[in-house]
Amino acid sequence: MKKIVYIILVALVAGFYSCETDYDAEDQGITLTDLPKYVAFYVAGAGSTIADVDVDAGSDTDDAVNVQIPGGTLSDVTVNYTFSGTAVYGTDYTVDGASSTGGSVTIEYGTTPNVDGLPFNADIVVEALPGASDSTLTITLSSASNAEGEIAVGRGGTDLLKTVNVNITAATP
């Protein structure tokens, strides 16, 4: 009985390996294209909207919004962004290296992109100033590029995850 089970098992394994066939997608009429690379604000999971970020002017901590390139990169990526909203730069908030109209952040290429559990990414750090009033800062990603050329902005090159609102709350006396 054991010989029969052994023979059947060998026949199945041999049959499995003999049926191996390589298929070429193009031979089957399927055209494969690379998905476009893009930069966008980080949101957990498959979400398509980003929650507002709250920053307290009386707090000693700064708050950051994270920009990522989910498809990875082979070189540093420069991401440009603009500011709008009711918050006043230099009065209500500052962002290191930025001006009143916006700035840029570099997503650096590295050997360990997932140090913080995210794809290649960088933070835009918003510091609410002590004299800030209740206001809103809107940060919009405007363009991105690396050594290979232009990179789409927003999830998949759409308006998804391209804009985030930062609510600044005045310090309570």
Task: Average the pLDDT over 84-105 and give the result.
Answer: 96
pLDDT at 32: 56
pLDDT digits (tens, 9 = 90+) for 106-155: 998 874 455 455 678 899 999 999 889 999 999 999 999 999 899 999 98
For domain 36-169, give the CATH number: 2.60.40.2030
| pTM given for the model | 0.76
pLDDT at 71: 80
The two three-digit tokens of residue 57, written as one number: 């002017």
The residue among 59 and 13 whose pLDDT is bigger is: 59
pLDDT digits (tens, 9 = 90+) for 49-92: 889 999 988 777 678 899 999 887 889 999 999 999 999 999 99
